[in-house]
């Protein structure tokens, strides 16, 4: 999409995900997704941080997620911030952080929504294998115009991850990621 990224690409993707969660989901569903996303980062933060990784430390990703989601609607999400123990000194700036992220991304997202002449779409392969992902793909296709068809596939990768292949112009969701998410959800439910 030739989107300019200033700073770490993975941190930018984290910010974008919170903006999309806030914009595309009903309030209650958005809060559940944001809560789960933050909880995944918190679960990973219990491991030794990999400072060499392309992602920021997971504990920082946790607080960034909580702050941005809270900052989108501080009056209605105060309980969310308190439940996830967002420090008051960080909470004070979250509305500004959200506005900065929104201002930065909205120009890109507005352009993706308004592109005339673009007919590409995200195309799920193996749709029966991923019915929920197919619903998400359908919603994204309704919201954005893509410059070309982009295949979205599920396959074994040897790790719990997802990838965008610039050369193949495809997104790969690793089967291991689904298993990893199930394991984390089980751990979070036990705590």
What pLDDT score was predicted for residue 183?
67
| CA–CA gap between residue 89 and residue 138 (Å, rounded) | 39
What pLDDT score was predicted for residue 93?
97
pTM here is: 0.79
What pLDDT score was predicted for residue 97?
96
Interval 95-124: pLDDT, tens: 999 999 999 998 888 888 887 667 778 787
Contact predicate 153/126, CB 8 Å: yes
Identify the H or E element spanning 77: none
**What value does the mean pLDDT take over residues 120-132?**
67
Q: Which residue has the tokens 């999400």?
A: 77
181 pLDDT tier (thresholds 50, 70, 90): low
Identify the H or E element spanning 172: strand 170-174
Interval 135-163: pLDDT, tens: 778 888 888 888 888 888 888 889 888 88
4 in helix, strand or coil? coil
Q: Which residue, 112, 116, 111, 74, is CA-closest to 91?
A: 74
What pLDDT score was predicted for residue 182?
67
Mean model confidence pLDDT for the chain: 84
List beta partners, residue 150. Answer: 122
What pLDDT score was predicted for residue 185?
61
What pLDDT score was predicted for residue 155?
84
| CA–CA gap between residue 107 and residue 109 (Å, rounded) | 6
What pLDDT score was predicted for residue 62?
94
176 pLDDT tier (thresholds 50, 70, 90): confident
Cα angle value 148/137/177 (rounded, 5°): 110
Structure tokens at 49: 């941080």
C-alpha separations of 169 from 41, 78, 135, 150, 184 in Å: 28, 40, 20, 6, 30
Give the Cβ contact number of residue 46 at 10 Å. Answer: 9
What pLDDT score was predicted for residue 78?
97
């Amino acid at each position: 999409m030739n989107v300019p990224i200033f700073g770490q690409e993975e941190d930018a993707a984290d910010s974008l995900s919170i903006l999309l969660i806030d914009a595309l989901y009903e309030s209650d569903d958005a809060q559940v997704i944001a809560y789960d996303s933050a909880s995944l980062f918190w679960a990973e933060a219990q491991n030794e941080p990999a400072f060499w990784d392309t992602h920021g430390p997971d504990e920082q990703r946790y607080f960034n997620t909580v702050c941005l989601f809270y900052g989108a609607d501080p009056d209605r999400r105060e309980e969310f911030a308190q439940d996830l123990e967002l420090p008051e000194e960080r909470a004070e700036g979250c509305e500004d952080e959200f506005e900065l992220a929104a201002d930065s991304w909205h120009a890109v997202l507005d352009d993706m929504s308004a592109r005339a002449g673009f007919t590409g779409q995200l195309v799920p392969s193996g749709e029966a294998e991923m019915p929920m992902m197919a619903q998400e793909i359908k919603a994204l296709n309704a919201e954005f115009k893509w410059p070309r068809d982009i295949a979205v596939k599920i396959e074994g990768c040897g790790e719990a991850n997802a990838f965008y292949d610039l050369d193949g112009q495809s997104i790969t969701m690793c089967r291991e990621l689904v298993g990893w998410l199930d394991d984390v959800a089980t751990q979070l439910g036990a705590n």
